[in-house]
Chain A
Amino acid sequence: MNESPHPDFLWRNPEPRRAYDVVIVGGGGHGLATAYYLAKNHGITDVAVLEKGWLAGGNMARNTTIIRSNYLWDESAGIYEHALKLWEGLAEELDYDLLFSQRGVLNLAHSPADVREGMRRVNANLLNGIDAEWLDADEVKKFCPIVNTSPDVRHPVLGATLQRRAGIAKHDRVAWAYARAADRLGVDLIQGCEVTGFDIAGGRVRGVRTNLGRIGAHRVALAAAGHSSVLAARAGIRLPLQSHPLQALVSELLEPVLDCVVMSGAVHVYVSQAHKGELVMGAGIDAYNSYGQRGSFHIIERQMSAALELFPIFARARVLRTWAGIVDVSPDASPIIGLTPVENLFVNAGWGTGGFKATPGSGWVYADTIANGRPHPLAEPFGLDRFTTGALIDEHGAAAVAH
């Protein structure tokens, strides 16, 4: 990081113009990255990002910042590894420190079935050119000494997959960096602007209606995460998505104690320690549909009991804050990227519980899809039509709850 003082403003706050070439609905990580790559890769700068709240105040501000690409299926490996490669050069490209830290992610195995699945995942990753290692319980203990690898617990650690290139980043900084870079290339970032409807004529989108008036658009791109169903319904489209709360929490600030990311699908918890010192933990989704940005306490309770079994050293740490984001989960736990039945209206949704890690890759392929009016090759398998053809990308089994 350079030593110059941080500027007071990273982007302009312009009034919306009457029309744009591309309007992106949703100013979270994916929307901002999409705007940046539209301008940077495709020279399309007549772009507005419309955000109903403030920039990156939804799931971008609520996720647990885990970045990895060790997915099972080829299609997932393709898009998440593309994202990870972009992460590796992102701070330099955007000239902004993202606190991106490739500290390694462990996915623990607690049963013979977990072990088999983990080894399968390692082999699948290696075949896709993604770094992956299998660690036995002793090696897990060496890599992360505070994990309880005693056999005398409810869910003993039998081993783990390790992706060393995986890690965490500082979510706010990622959003700010993309926002500043997009703004500098001429993109209008418009906060407090809620899309209330779409102007569609002859099967083609012509613009959006907002609380700030009508804004014309040649192309409209949805990037609204948990609210994708609500927005798409305003364009007459039913998406195969269900919106759920996903809860997370942080502890009070602690001395450095955990220098990697530990995930366990079987006991529904994932943990890392942020640069500032707080332990960041996530759980599984609450089962019911909700837009309420809060979940039920028993989820936190179970998550804590799992975390304490894995990390007895955390027993006296206190919870500082809990919260929830609203995640849009698709039937196969994979995103939906591409064209819609309405011409020039694009969708990027369904990232569910795992969208943060994909931010650069998602923005990259979505911008390419919008610019060229056809799916980017890495996005093609994730089209809306897969639910009709049956070519699902079923990552539920591979990613379990800790997506």
Chain B
Amino acid sequence: MLLIDCPWCGPRDEIEFRYGGQAGVAYPEDPAALTDEQWAEYLYVRDNPKGWFHERWFHAAGCRTWFTVRRHTVTHEIKPGGPDGAPEPGRGRDAPDRRRRFPRGLA
């Protein structure tokens, strides 16, 4: 069972979340300009590292924020942080530290 640190709600049980796979996969700027190989790469191919992985989670049963963590795919250790050190959603300038910490037993 993973304990996932939601940027809004704090550490919560994995069952509250949905998995979003590899982070930082951008929609192609001009899809029509892509070759079939490039389009296939965008549609079907994702990193699958044995080690640290930037990935998206969605707090479906909580604040419903999408956010990025780094997780180790062998140890399952989780650290905050988007790709290239980008800030996590919910922690930008419009969202100062409003992270709510529930007392133990209520979370």
Contact = CB atoms under 8 A, between A and B. Distances in A.
B98 to A, nearest CB: 27
A344 interface: no
A103 B24 CA distance: 48
Interface string A235-254: 00011111100000000000
Contacts, number: 59
Interface stretch (A13-21, A202-210, A288-296, A366-374): A288-296
Interface string A254-296: 0000000000000000000000000000000001111110001
Given A291-B74, A387-B40, A298 B1 contact: yes
A238 B74 contact: no
Contacts of A241: 48
A401 to B, nearest CB: 15
Given A287-B18, A288-B55, A388-B36, A240 B74 contact: no
A230 interface: yes
B70 to A, nearest CB: 12
A288 B74 CA distance: 11
A297 B1 contact: yes
Contact of A288 (B44, B46, B71, B75): B71
Interface string A291-314: 110001110000000000000000
Nearest to A230: B50
B84 interface: no
Interface residues of A, number: 22
Contact of B73 (A291, A331, A389): A291
B71 A291 contact: no
A44 B50 CA distance: 34
Contacts of B97: none
B86 interface: no
B21 interface: yes
B74 A292 contact: yes
Contacts of A170: none
A306 B55 CA distance: 30
A289 B41 CA distance: 18
B48 A242 contact: yes
A229 interface: yes
A227 interface: yes
Given A287-B19, A298-B1, A298-B15, A292 B76 contact: yes
A289 B55 contact: yes
Contacts of A331: 43-44
Contacts of A230: 48-50
Contacts of A387: 40, 43-45
Interface of A: 227, 229-230, 238-243, 287-292, 296-298, 331, 387-389
Nearest 7 CB-CB pairings of A with B: A229-B48, A287-B19, A240-B44, A388-B40, A296-B1, A291-B50, A331-B44
